[in-house]
């Protein structure tokens, strides 16, 4: 394999579609062609300079097709195989796709040996609806969260954050926590609330800082917030009477709150990575149980894929915008300059990038 391919590249403070060398896979490596990929909140933070992840090509959500396999790669990954990639290696920090290793927002992505031997490349059924690819990894994050929260048998779930993870959690909660759970989606803006009101699956709606409510207990909180909003979201959840909190959203180093003296929130979140340990490590602070997690296990991705295949219409409308590489690069430049989430007159929940990577 030689030649070049197109990619959305970050370089010298700019973002553009450029041609990159197409590298043939070495022993144990795979080359894949992304079909559809998504842009997530951590990607946007990188675009805004809030994270210093070095990968020039970002993107860790998507579905791809194998185009070439290096020597020693199992036959299960023969060229033409449809695959998803678990972007977070649970034990090898050198592989975090789209963060310290080039991601999927390009026509060809080289997957290193550690990802292949680590079992992070998952074959998918050929009948998979690849247009739902941008929802696969975030729904797996929700599966991880709800699986862990289910151990506490919550009667109420407070979902804090109205991005794609928050909306996916609202739609999946009763499937994975039970039909009797009471679900409330906490907003920070009226624009976000307006989008939710118009959804087919809005959940119970409330504005952060609004009138106090009495919740059925036990109360679980799932924090699906940007890293600069997570501590405030945690404090809101504690004020609302949460008994157990899952910190899904990112955190700045050394994050803490006076409501939980002596608790290093960043350490709480990083104690669980890629599905390990299992069950999750939980920190007890007074009457509150806390945990968080980075990445997902392969089983979470498989269960998310099954859920999307079972009822795609329950989730599809959360892909609010779809563009090719050039169109996506334009939107990404706009997102880098502003915190505004209205794109082409519509609220952005999930951006899908259509990548013409198949031969």
Whether residue 238 sits in one domain with residue 165: yes
Contact 308, 61 (CB under 8 A): no
Mean pLDDT within 260-270: 96
| Domain annotation covers residue 302 | no
Say whether both 56 and 190 belong to one domain: no
Is residue 359 a part of any domain in this protein? no
Q: How far apart are CA 71 and CA 329, in angstroms?
A: 35
Residue range 82-108: average pLDDT? 97
Say whether the peptide bond before residue 279 is cis (omega within 30 degrees of 0). yes
Residue 5: enclosing H or E segment and its boundaries?
strand 4-11
Same domain, 174 and 257: yes
In a domain, 45, yes or no: yes
Instruction: Specify whether the CB–CB gap between 59 and 37 falls below 8 A.
Output: yes
Does 171 lie in the same domain as 127? no
Residue 304 falls inside a structural domain: no
Using CB atoms within 10 A of its CB, is residue 160 exposed (0-12), middle (13-18) or buried (19+)? buried
- Residues listed for the chain: 359
Q: What is the dihedral of CA 331, 332, 334, 336, to 10 degrees?
A: 170
Axis-axis angle for helices 133-150, 164-177 (nearest 10): 50
CATH code of 24's domain: 3.90.180.10
Q: Are residue 219 and residue 244 in the same domain, yes or no?
A: yes
Q: How many separate domains does the chain show?
A: 2
Judge if 223 and 349 occupy the same domain. no
Q: For the purposes of burial, counting CB atoms within 10 Å of the CB of 236, is it exposed (0-12), middle (13-18) or buried (19 or more)? A: buried
Mean pLDDT of the chain: 94
> Model confidence at 358, in pLDDT bands (50, 70, 90)?
very low
Task: Kindly give the residue spans of alpha helices, DSSP state H, lying in 28-132.
Answer: 41-47, 113-117
pLDDT digits 0-9 by tens, 192-214: 888 998 988 888 877 654 445 66
- The CATH number of whichever domain residue 164 belongs to comes to 3.40.50.720
Percent of the chain with pLDDT over 90: 84
- The answer as to whether 301 is a domain residue is no
Are residues 94 and 165 located together in one domain of the fold?
no
Q: 144: which 2 tokens? A: 């991880």
Calpha distance 110→212 (Å, rounded)? 51
Domain that holds residue 11: 4-134+317-354
For residue 306, being part of any structural domain is answered with no
- Measured between alpha carbons, how far is 39 from 54 in angstroms, rounded to an integer? 17
Looking at the structure, do residues 65 and 211 belong to the same domain, yes or no?
no
User: What average pLDDT does this structure show over 77-95?
Assistant: 97
Domain boundary among 277, 292, 307: 292
**pLDDT at 186 exceeding the cut of 50:** yes
CA dihedral 350, 15, 46, 98 (to 10 degrees): 80
pLDDT at 303 exceeding the cut of 70 = yes
Residue 223 within any structural domain of the chain? yes
Indicate whether 127 and 199 sit together in one domain.
no
Instruction: Give tens-digit pLDDT for 213-239.
Output: 667 789 999 999 988 899 999 999 999
- For the segment 236-261, the average pLDDT, to the nearest whole number, is 94
| Count of Cβ atoms closer than 10 Å to residue 60 Cβ | 25
Q: Of 113 and 253, which is predicted with more confidence?
A: 113
Angle at 142 between CA 136 and CA 198, to 5 degrees: 85
Residue 298 included in any domain: no
From 292, 325, 341, the end of a domain falls on 292
Do 275 and 348 have their domain in common? no
Residues 23 and 144 in one domain: no
Q: Are residues 147 and 279 in the same domain?
A: yes
pLDDT of residue 12: 85
Residue carrying the six token digits 């624009």: 191
255-288: buried (b, 16+ CB within 10 Å) or exposed (e) per residue? beeeebeebbbbebbebbbbbeeeebbbbebeeb
Q: Quick one: which of 259, 198, 189, 175 has its CA closest to 225?
A: 189
């Amino acid at each position: 394999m030689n030649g070049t391919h197109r990619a959305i590249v970050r370089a010298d403070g700019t973002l553009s579609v450029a041609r990159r060398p197409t590298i043939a896979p070495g022993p144990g490596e795979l080359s894949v062609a992304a079909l559809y990929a998504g842009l997530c909140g951590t990607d946007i933070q990188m675009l805004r300079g809030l994270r210093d992840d070095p990968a020039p090509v970002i993107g860790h959500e998507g579905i791809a097709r194998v185009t070439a396999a290096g020597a020693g790669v199992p036959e299960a990954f023969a060229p033409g195989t449809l695959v998803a990639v678990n972007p977070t290696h649970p034990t090898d920090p050198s592989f975090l796709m789209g963060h310290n290793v080039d991601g999927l927002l390009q026509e060809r992505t080289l997957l290193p040996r550690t990802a292949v031997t680590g079992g992070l490349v998952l074959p998918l059924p050929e009948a998979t609806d690849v247009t739902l690819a941008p929802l696969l990894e975030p729904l797996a994050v929700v599966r991880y969260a709800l699986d862990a929260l289910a151990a506490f048998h919550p009667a109420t779930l407070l979902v804090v954050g109205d991005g794609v993870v928050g909306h996916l959690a609202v739609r999946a909660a009763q499937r994975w926590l039970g039909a009797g759970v009471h679900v409330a989606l906490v907003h920070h803006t009226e624009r976000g609330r307006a989008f939710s009101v118009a959804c087919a699956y809005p959940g119970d709606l409330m504005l952060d800082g609004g009138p106090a409510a009495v919740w059925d207990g036990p109360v679980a909180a799932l924090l699906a917030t940007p890293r600069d909003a997570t501590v405030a979201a945690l404090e809101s959840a504690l004020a609302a009477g949460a008994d157990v909190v899952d910190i899904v959203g990112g955190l700045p180093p050394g994050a803490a709150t006076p409501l939980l003296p002596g608790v290093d929130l960043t350490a709480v979140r990083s104690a669980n990575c890629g599905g390990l340990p299992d069950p999750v490590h939980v920190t007890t602070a007074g009457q509150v149980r806390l945990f968080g997690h980075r990445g997902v296990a392969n089983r979470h991705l498989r269960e998310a894929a099954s859920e999307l295949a079972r009822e795609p219409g329950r989730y599809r409308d959360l892909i609010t915008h779809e563009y090719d590489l050039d169109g996506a690069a334009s939107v990404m430049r706009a997102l880098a300059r502003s915190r505004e989430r209205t794109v082409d007159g519509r609220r952005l929940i999930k951006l899908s990038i259509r990548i013409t990577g198949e031969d």
